[in-house]
Structures are given as structure tokens and as C-alpha cells.
Structure 1
Amino acid sequence: MRILICDPIDAEGLEKLRSAGHVVDVKTGLAAEVLVKEVAGYEGLVVRSATKVTKAVVDAATSLKFVMRGGVGLDNIDAAACEARGIRVLNTPEAATLSVAEHAIAMMFAAARRIGRAHELLRQGKWDKKSLVGNEINGKTLGLVGLGRIGMEVAIRARALGMTVIANRRNVKTQTPPGVGLVDLNDLLARADYISIHVPFTPETRNILGAAEFAKMKKGVILVNCSRGGIVDEGALVAALRSGAVAMAAVDVFDEEPPRPDHPLLRLDNVVVTPHIGASTWEGQNRVGMAVAEKLLEVYGPA
């Protein structure tokens, strides 16, 4: 098969596909209008989170058999358009789990101890310890909105750090890590000192945390979002941060990526931001690349 790689994939995974006889072309950073022209003639398309597989791309892909998303989530792929054309949509949800879970924990620490602000002030020559008093996480309650693969790994690590962990999830039949209490969302909002979001972006989860939900949270809560933009109402979050209802937020994902330079979340002192790097570890990237290759070979075999 001819396979077009649109976002960076670990070299080991690429070599595995090529060794199996597939023709693999790597063309990253293509503008949308260029991708529409390039995709014709390819039987496979591999993307991460950057490339958007729109209906226009699908319609132009006259030979396409599959779209593979390296990682979790399919919100950058028009799955309905693919289904209408009989194009299979695949992903590798398990590959980046540990990387994202560790980033969520790191962001929680960064927010609790105001590490980003401390770094910024010290780089400016300001030794301002008094304004940088933070919080311990030991003994605090962490509320997980979502308890899938990533949420469960966050729960395990948070428990090891001495936190009480409660969670809200849609599928109550799946396994729950020891010591994690399942609660409804309103209970979680009222009880949690820290809230970390781990649900996929779907029409049902769009803006599930908005002004009404922020009003139900403990005053001074710390919010962590390493899932997807669009799940938190950004305008409502900014208002809650400005009022002090939310003490700190740690944000790795945005409604629009990259966010515009004057985005309020980039300007507030009580926000820690990173550019959607939850899965960006060497180990995670290698696992994603290998998982892409292994799943494609499992489904389609060698050339």
C-alpha cells in the first residue's frame, strides 16, 4: 500500500512499515489545500493531532482505505465522511497513556506551587517569595472527570502522592482502580480541591465545564486540562480565574490551536500553559509510532 504520513511518526515505526513492503511517504506540515491535492492515489493516511482530515480531504482521496490517528481521540478526523466512503478509521489510544498521565500530574504540581510564575519572575530578576506561596497536594481531594486509560493512570499516581481520589465517568462497568470513589459530577465539583479532565471531545462533552459548573466548585479549586480543547468553556474559565473562584488552572489544550497571542489564558498570572505536549515524550512517541505500524500490519498485513 501507498501510505502518506502527515504528522511526525517515530522512525522505528516507519521502518517497520517499509520493511513489510509498504510505500511510505512522509510529508508533514501540509496546508489544508495542499493535502487535498496530495492525498489522491494514497491508500492509507496517518495523522497525529495537527492534521485535520476534513470532508474535503476525504472526498479527494479516491483510493483511500484507512485513516490512522496515532494517539487517542478522533476529533480531528471527519469520521462520518470516512464512514460514508467506506474508509476505515483507526487509532492507537493506549500508546501515549503514560506520557499524558505524567503530564497531568506535572501540571498539577506546577499549578499548586506556581512554578511557571516563579520561573517567569526569577528570569526577570525578581526574588519574590512572598507572592509565590503554594499548596501541598498531599491530603487533598482530586476529582477526575473521566476515568479511562489516562484517568486511571492519573488516579494511581495521585493516590501514591497521598491524595483522596474521586471520579465521575460514563461507563461505570469498567474497572476502577483501588481506593477511587465513583461519584456524580455535581458531587465531584463540590468536593474536589483539584479537578483533572480526562474525557474525549465529543458533542456530548463540549463545554461540559461552564459557568454553572464553576459556580458549584469549591472556591480556590485548581483545574487541570490535558484532554482536549472545547471540553471547558474558555470564557467561563477566564471569568472564574479572574474572580478567584478558580485559584489556578493548568492548561495544555485550547479551543483553537495554536491560540491567538492575546488569548486571555496566556495573559493571566494564575494560569500555567503548555502547547498540547501531553503526549510529547520520546518514549510516548516511540510507542505511538510502533503502535501505528503494528496495528496497520495486524489489519492489512505486509504488502
Structure 2
Amino acid sequence: MKKVLIADDMHLSITEMLIEAGFDPDYQPKITRDEMLKVIGEFHGLIIRSKTNVDREMLDAATKLEFVGRAGAGIDKIDYPYLTSKNIRLVNAPEGNRDAVGEQTIGVLLSLLHRINLANREVKNDIWDREGNRGFELKNRTVGVFGYGFMGSSLAGKLKGFQCRVIAYDKYKSGFSNEFVEQVDLDTFKAETEILSIHVPLTAETRQLFNADFFNAFPKLKIVLNTARGEVLNSAGLLELLESGKLWGAGLDVLENEKINKLSSEEQEVFDRLKKLDNVILTPHVAGWTHESYERINRVIVNKLQEAGLAVG
């Protein structure tokens, strides 16, 4: 049987699923990079989360490797061109946590519109301020989904019941308008979006794409939501618009630097100012991190490995 190294924390069902599919799994979630480099040459498969860098050094050491399974959607920690040059298959699992991301995005959006987060804190501090916590309705507003992959389409479907207009822009896709969403060009997207939800992978093209200049091109923009990757959004630029009052609020599940105890002085200043804003909701990269998605991601990866015939040989 093909040996598979599981190098990150996974739902424990992964070992049983892999055995049933015909693999020989080795679950080592605490393995260090140095340890991996010494043993990776013994394995035909590698399953990781976002902790592990699969770079040239790792791939050169992985002399028997046939596939990498990414438990989640993002592949920014994987040198994909080099991996494919070695005929190694990449399998990721955006289907596994798309519902979680869609639900979290809506939850944060409703909390911002209806000031739920702030009102909860005030009442717990014996402040009963009804007028100060008067909210806004989502109905009839235009939500712009930037990037229409698994996450963006999940959000669009879940927004249908709120009777808002959902538009989407994706540079690399077309013909996806349906009962949930209206595909538009970039100019229309910028002109009409009131609530922007970001759903793009981290690439050289998207890094720092969402900055102050980008946001200033949206005349109606009121709320920004990012559940994608922190590095696609310039926090300082967003902060500028929040503090000026141009934006009503922001929901950030991801940050440019998520090691919040090891920020540079500049990063720390921006982070401290963001934390003080009542109209900003921050969560620790958990939009796709539910109990259900934790197990479902395993099933998606193993099913794809089976469908690709990677358990054979």
C-alpha cells in the first residue's frame, strides 16, 4: 500500500478513511520541518494544512511523492508550478468548508449591520442604549462578491433568502449568472457594490490588491468582509477609510500577519487602532473552521484521491 504522511492536525477520521481507501497512513501532526525532510522520501502521499510549506527543498526530498492533499482551499504555501513539473498531483478541498465560510460571512455581516456585537457588550456593562444601536437592514442592499469560486458561490446561495441583490465579479470566470447571483463587469461591480465580500486566493496578482485606492473606486461601499487571505487586503488602507467614516464597518477573519504576538511596530500600530473600532469584527481565521467542516474535508480529500486512482499501484 502507498504510504501517506499526515503532517498537520486533522480530524482523527482521516486515518480510518485512508485505510479503507487502500492507503497506509502515518499520522504525525507534530512533525517538524527538519524531521519531515529526513523521512519524506519514504512516502507516496502527503496531507497538510496551512502550517506546512511544500517548497522546492521539500519536493526535492520527496523522491517517491505522487500527491499532496491540502486540507482546505488555499494553496499559497505550495510551490504549485514546481510540484506539477515533477508530475505530483495536488488535491485540495474547498468543497469541505464552503458552507462554513458562507455562514460565518453572513453572521459577521448581520452583526455589523445590526450592531449585535457592540450592543451585546454594552448591555453586559449595564448600558441600555436602544437608539445608539439602531441597525440597518440587509434587504434591498447590493452585496458584491469578488471571486466566484466555491466560497463566493456558497455565500451567494445563502444570501438569497435575505432579498438583497447579489452581484459577482471574477476575472477568470464567466457565464455564471443564476437565480442567486448576477455576473457583472468590474466597472459595474465597483459602481454598485455596497457590501464587499472578498473570496480570492493569495497570488502575486491579488497580494495587497484591496487597498485604499481600490476601495475609493467604490462610491457606495459601506462594509468590507474578508474571509480569504489576510495578505490580499492592505489593513492600513482599510483603517484609513474606517477612521474617516467612509466605511460603516469591516469584518476580518484573516490578517496580513496572523502571528499577532510577533507584529512589527507598524503592524502593531494598525492592529491596535483596528481593535479600538466598534465597527470592526475580528475573528482568528475560523470562517471555515467548524466541527462539521473539520470532518467533511477529510472525506473530500479521500474521495478525490480514490476518484483519481491514486490508491492503486
Normalization by structure 1: what TM-score? 0.89
**Residue equivalent to 1:96:** 97
Report whether the alignment pairs 1:270 with 2:271: no
* Structure 1 equivalent of residue 223 of structure 2: 222
Which is worse superposed, 215-224 or 280-289?
Answer: 215-224
The alignment status of 1:70 with 2:71, answered yes or no, reads yes
Kindly provide the CA deviation profile for residues 214-242 of structure 1, in whole angstroms up to 9, marking residues without a partner as x.
21224661111111222222221111111
* SS of structure 2 residue aligned to 1:3: strand
The alpha-carbon distance between structure 1 residues 54 and 111, as it changes in their structure 2 partners (threshold 3 A), is: farther
Which position in structure 2 is the counterpart of 1:53?
54
Cα drift, residue 46 of structure 1:
0.5
2:304 counterpart of 1:301: no
In 2, distance between residues paired with 1:166 and 1:124? 39
Query: CA offsets per residue over residues 268-291 of structure 1, 9 Å max, x none?
Result: 322101111121122222221111
1:163 aligns with 2:164: yes
1:205-244 pair list within 5 angstroms: 205-218=206-219, 221-244=222-245
Q: Alpha carbons of 1:220 and 1:93: their partners in 2 closer, same or farther (altered >3 Å)?
A: closer
Deviates more, 1:80-89 or 1:97-106: 80-89
2:28 maps to 1:27: yes
Cα distance in 2 for partners of 1:141, 1:192 equals 5
In the aligned structure 2, how far is the partner of 1:155 from the partner of 1:68? 27
Q: Would you say the 8 A contact 1:9–1:288 is kept in 2?
A: no
Paired residue for 1:9?
10
8 Å contact kept, 1:112–1:135: yes
Opposite residue 60 of structure 1, the aligned amino acid is A
Alignment-derived partner of residue 288 in structure 2:
279
CA contact (8 A) 2:152 2:199 kept: yes
For residue 54 of structure 1, report the CA deviation from its aligned partner: 2.8
Cα shift at 1:103: 1.4
| Distance across 1 between alignment mates of 2:30 and 2:112 | 32
The DSSP-based 3-state class of the residue aligned with 1:117 is helix
Give the conservation status (yes or no) of the 8 Å contact 1:189–1:213: no
> Which 5+ residue runs of structure 1 have no aligned equivalent?
none
- Alpha-carbon separation, structure 2, partners of 1:166 and 1:95: 24
Is this contact kept in 2: 1:189–1:218, CA < 8 A? Answer: yes
Letter in 1 for 2:283: T
* Preserved CA contact (<8 Å) 2:72 2:92: yes
- The CA distance in 2 between the partners of 1:43 and 1:92, in whole Å, is 19
Sort the Cα spacing of 1:39 and 1:111 in 2 relative to 1 into closer, same or farther, 3 A: farther
Contact 1:219–1:247 (CA under 8 A) maintained in structure 2: no
Alpha-carbon offset, residue 33 of structure 1: 3.9
| Number of aligned positions between the proteins | 303
Distance 1:217 1:29 in 2: 45
1:243–1:154 distance in 2 versus 1, CA, 3 Å: same
Query: Cα distance 1:36–1:269, how it changes in 2: closer, same or farther (>3 A)?
Result: farther
Query: 1:102-181 to 2 correspondence within 5 Å?
Result: 102-178=103-179, 180-181=181-182
Match of 1:289 among 294, 298, 301: 298
- TM-score normalised by L of structure 2: 0.86
Distance in 2, Cα, partners of 1:188 & 1:30:
45
Q: Which residue of 1 aligns with 2:200?
A: 199
| Paired residues of 2:140 and 2:165 also in contact (CA < 8 A) | yes
CA distance in 1, matches of 2:244, 2:35: 45
Whole-angstrom CA distance in 2 between matches of 1:274 and 1:193: 22
Distance in 2, matches of 1:253 and 1:211, equals: 18
- Identical columns (%): 31
Q: Which amino acid aligns with 2:286?
A: I
Residue 137 of structure 1 and its aligned partner are, at CA, apart by: 0.7
Seen in structure 2, the aligned counterparts of structure 1 residues 116 and 302 have a Cα distance that, compared at 3 Å, is farther
